[in-house]
Amino acid sequence: MNLMQDLNREQIVAPDRDWWRGAVIYQIYPRSFQDSNHDGIGDLAGIIHRLPHVAELGVDAIWISPFFRSPMLDFGYDVSDYCDVDPMFGSLGDFDALIQRAHDLGLKVLIDLVLSHTSSQHPWFYESQTSRDNAKSDWYVWADAKPDGSPPNNWLSIFGGSAWEWSGDRMQYYLHNFLREQPDLNLHNADVQEELLSVARFWLDRGVDGFRLDTINFYFHDPDLRDNPALDPAERNATIAPEVNPYNWQDHLYDKNQPENLDFLRRLRAVLDEYPAATAVGEVGDAQYGMDLQAQYTSGDDKVHMCYSFEFLAATPLTPDHVVGVLQNYEDRIGDGWACWAFSNHDVVRHASRWNLGEDARRLYAALLLSLRGSVCLYQGEELGLTEAYVAFDDLQDPYGIRFWPRFKGRDGCRTPMPWVTDNHNGGFSDAKPWLPVAVEHLSRAVAEQAQADDSTMIFYKNMIRFRQSYRALIKGAMSDLTAGEGTVSFVRTEGDQRLFCAFNLTNTAQPVDLPEGRWRQDKGAPFTAVVGETGLTLPPYQAYFAAAE
């Protein structure tokens, strides 16, 4: 074999290290995707069975929410063993088979890594709480009580109440930003960092293509344990349950968002860079500083590859001014960083209900999402146009909802099982009683039903993803000419000599749109019908227009 053949072979087998930039990632919530062993809970074998559906959508990767060993008080986000699969989901062998099947279908695999906290049933915590001088005594955040016995400071838990829980074994408080059964790890301890980096290597060695990093801005706390100041009521804009949870009454300067996080992210990125094309997307959980942190954490090429914050996961309606304001803020701050946009996930009300969208609007919003500069996360069932399901209190599983019912009904409404077929009261998800009830109104939107209709929402998503992938400018291009009209949003995406004008009518009435200067040719491969008339471009209700520069 000559040198040229060697070079050609290297080009063929070399992975694309930049595959994540502009990728479409499909989130799978394993408990609710497909049950294969008749216990009413989805599992890894069920995911394997349904992966062809995901691949047929044309997405680039899947993100699987936690499947590690766990007491499941927060449904896998309370990890008791980072390096094993919980038996309810299967085994490590099942996971290896899932990786192989996904790769065979051309799908990358990201898994949800929860590094800020563990379960209180993790062996590390059992040891840490036994005394103040054991080998893991400093692996969690411990602090003495105030002289009057009250907690060390005013920090609050996202799930309600104080973020401190008393341990009679150590006669100290430990920090928990979430449930009291989810103690926070102390990443100021170098041994903790090393152990977490070894967890990342464990899964990378098994073939995962990267991670979704849960609560990436919660890794470090202020070592001086200073009180958080009060937040101006006008700035209380939390995404989840802002009307019932005083967590959003504080300016969270000290319990998260610490500068030490940047050095740890550099260490994690160095581990990722040891592998051919591994990536990471971080969840920035902060209502006030999310965009700034997103820019910090993804800047340069030495931290995480991309992050998402909650600007488009909130209840705020997507008016043109709001959309353009968020996007312009992003463009002004992100620099060489990279965003990952989402409208729905496992923590928020499904956006079809959150924004009260009809069928045409659901499709138009999908087109907008898939045209933004950045990568995209789609949440399972989003492609079916699923609405938020009502879950009665007696069926409720989410501890957050149970705590604040009825003013906040929790996150179960977006976590109900996927409907696969219409002729089964469980939608083909399971032949046993599901862990959450299947919404009756979801059955008519089942995958099998929509696959047979060329005009279904699922087919629209498939076509729109294909359209996105036909333009380099939509995948990796820059964004410019951001404009908010009376009821419209428009912008230009550019990559090299390729320019694409994108316009969206977010209203139920026809709206005029001004074309940028130059000559533009409508791309009729987009799944929309709007055309330029003699008097210019007028977008029908909930229609989009895409035109390439000539």
Cα end-to-end distance, the chain, whole Å: 44
Residue 24: what residue type?
V
β-strands 478-484, 164-167: how paired?
Answer: unpaired
CA distance linking residue 372 with residue 311, whole number of Å = 14
Closest CA to 255 of 166, 172, 170, 176: 176
Asked whether 146 and 232 are in contact (CB, 8 A), the reply is: no
Determine phi and psi for 53, rounding to 5 degrees.
Answer: -60, -45
- DSSP calls for 311-372: TTTSSS---HHHHHHHHHHHHHHHTT--BEE-S--TTS--HHHHTT--HHHHHHHHHHHTTS
Q: Strand, helix or coil at 480?
A: strand
195 is catalytic: no
Closest to 326 in 3D by CA, of 314, 336, 302: 314
Is 165 assigned a catalytic role? no
**Helix 457-469 vs helix 44-57: crossing angle, to nearest 10:** 70
Catalytic residue of the set 274, 302, 423, 455: 274
Catalytic residue among 60, 74, 86, 214: 214
Which of 218, 219, 179 shows the shortest CA–CA distance to 72? 179
**Could you tell me the two tokens for 261?**
């996080």
**Residue among 22, 24, 27 nearest 379 (CA):** 27
What are the φ and ψ backbone dihedral angles of 94, each rounded to 5 degrees?
A: -65, -40
Active-site positions?
214, 274
